[in-house]
């Protein structure tokens, strides 16, 4: 399979994503400049973290107007996989590919720390190698990672089983104490109704080697690989 890693002006986690999927997991990967529009050769698109366009106006507000975003929406409409990490999550929300928005952390501080994430939905292309209720140790690095959605939207997320990851303690207990940014219901990651687009604030590419402190982030990318490889095998049969 092949990953496409989108680069906007101000993106800075693109090389980490490339290292995780190419060097660690031995997958084909290629950088995609935000002015490019042909995504036909890719199986999964990664929107990495960073500060696209310097986060002017709002994080992701300007990136959503980049030429590549029309192609990304078409990519999603075909059922292909997209993962938005940190700023990538913000871009997906701004572009309407995911519901809700990301606002300033309640502490008004930039938070860079390790977090525990409980997998609340493992029936997705992004978490299928995880057990439901299992804990992933993955770091965050953001100033505007506070996920917000109105009550009606929140109800829909739960009705459609779209909440995938939530901040918790090491045992999976979800409390305000372990919410690093004020996100509603400790939400750290959500998925689209069609199950092919995910946004998450934590950085799985920064927990891909033991020397970094955790390899749990690999499970997110391994799930994607598992989903794509399984689909390709079915198509060939």
Say which of 144, 205, 208, 222 is annotated catalytic: 205
Residue 130 is a catalytic residue: no
94 is catalytic: no
Are 125 and 196 a contacting pair, CB within 8 Å?
yes
Sign of CA pseudo-dihedral 113, 214, 26, 222: negative
Pick the catalytic residue: 86, 93, 130, 208? Answer: 86
222 has catalytic annotation: no
Instruction: Spot the catalytic one: 17, 44, 142, 203.
Output: 203
CB 198 within 8 A of CB 126: yes
Alpha helices in 56-176 (DSSP H): 68-77, 87-94, 151-159
Numbers of helices and strands, H then E, in the chain: 5, 11
Give me 155's structure tokens. Answer: 């109800």
Active site residues: 86, 203, 205
């Amino acid at each position: 399979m092949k990953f496409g890693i989108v680069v906007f002006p101000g993106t800075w986690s693109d090389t980490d994503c490339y290292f995780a999927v190419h060097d660690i997991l031995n997958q084909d990967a290629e950088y995609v400049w935000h002015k490019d529009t042909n995504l036909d050769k890719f199986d999964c698109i990664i929107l990495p973290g960073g500060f696209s366009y310097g986060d002017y106006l709002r994080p992701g507000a300007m990136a959503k107007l980049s030429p590549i975003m029309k192609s990304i929406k078409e990519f999603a409409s075909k059922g292909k996989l997209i993962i938005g990490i940190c700023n990538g999550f913000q871009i997906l929300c701004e572009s309407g590919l995911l519901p809700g928005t990301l606002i300033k952390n309640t502490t008004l501080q930039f938070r860079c720390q390790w977090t525990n994430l409980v997998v609340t939905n493992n029936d997705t292309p992004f978490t299928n190698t995880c057990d439901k209720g299992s804990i992933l140790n993955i770091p965050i690095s953001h100033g505007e990672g506070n996920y917000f959605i109105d009550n009606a939207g929140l109800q829909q997320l739960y009705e459609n089983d779209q909440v995938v990851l939530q901040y918790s303690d090491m045992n999976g207990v979800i409390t305000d104490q372990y919410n690093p940014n004020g996100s509603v219901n400790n939400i750290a990651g959500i998925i689209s109704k069609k199950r092919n687009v995910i946004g998450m604030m934590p950085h799985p590419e920064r927990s891909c080697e033991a020397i970094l402190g955790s390899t749990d982030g690999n499970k997110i990318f391994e799930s994607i690989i598992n989903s794509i490889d399984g689909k390709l095998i079915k198509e060939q049969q």
